Structure 1
Amino acid sequence: MVAYAFGINKPIIKIKSINLGLGGERGLDDEGELDEEWKCTISSISVEVCNKGHRDALNCEGLVTFKKLDPLALHPTMKGDVLHNTTKFDLLAGETKSLDAAWGFSRTAIDRFTELNKGDFLDKALPIEVVIFYREKTVRKRLKEKDADRFIRQFEEQLDRGN
């Protein structure tokens, strides 16, 4: 009975989701008219983490690693703003937090001018691995090529439909 009570009275960190910060724009064709094809870009990686345990996880840190790119630190967000001055965060018992990693920040938001085009992203970034460090433990989750490709295709279909 004591071992059971001890087992659930600890932080249990789960990575709920990994999402891509997608954007798109139309280029100009040879005549200066808007091109029919959208150019998809990726400017950030967003992660949702939660603590399903009954104890707070303090001084956590996160990292996003890529196949051929330098890793990016995850930064906590508060009310939609990225707290890019810190990489440490606390995850209280039962709490869910959003974290963001980006190739560029502008004040408290993600800089949309620092981004990767779809081809570079698919070639250099995937697979993506998110690692959360708390105490002497780590939690990992991967975003595989097929899942990232599915996200990008869905986004491109929405752009084509005008949503």
Structure 2
Amino acid sequence: MQIDRRSLLAGGATGALAIMAGCSGRAEATEGGVFPVRYSEAQWRERLTPAEFRILRGHGTERPFSSPLDDEHRRGTFICAGCNNRLFSSATKFDSGTGWPSFYRPLAGGVGTTVDTSLGMTRTEVHCADCGGHLGHVFRDGPRPTGLRYCMNGTAMDFVPARS
């Protein structure tokens, strides 16, 4: 494996060593965790679209401004595309300008977090509490009242409009 200047600068010596060793530093939420909803890799591939599988099970990221859920403004609930677990209320959604659906608070019991040291930095990964699917990351630059920004991949979620 080749280590370029950008990788070294981005992650410092620790990041370069992790790249050389082939380690992501990411907690294995989708592979090693024990979650109430579990399927084999083959079953997940059957249940999910290729894009959903890449993000939820492979810790991928969608392109910014590519998800229709970024522009979703109706009242309702955002649920996990993998298992239908309730994740976020539309009441906590805000426009962060990042191009990903952003929320300042998850629903109780909706998500879990793990430490993600991939890319040579430490971030807090957000995953579905029921199936362990990767949703995105949470940052401490959000609005009041929490000051948190749950920056989610829209492909990892579905939207259920509120009943009138």
Q: Determine if the TM-score, normalized by the shorter chain, exceeds 0.5.
A: no
Whichever of the two has the greater Rg, that structure is 1
TM-score w.r.t. length of structure 1: 0.27
Structure having the larger proportion of residues in helix:
2
TM-score (norm 2): 0.27
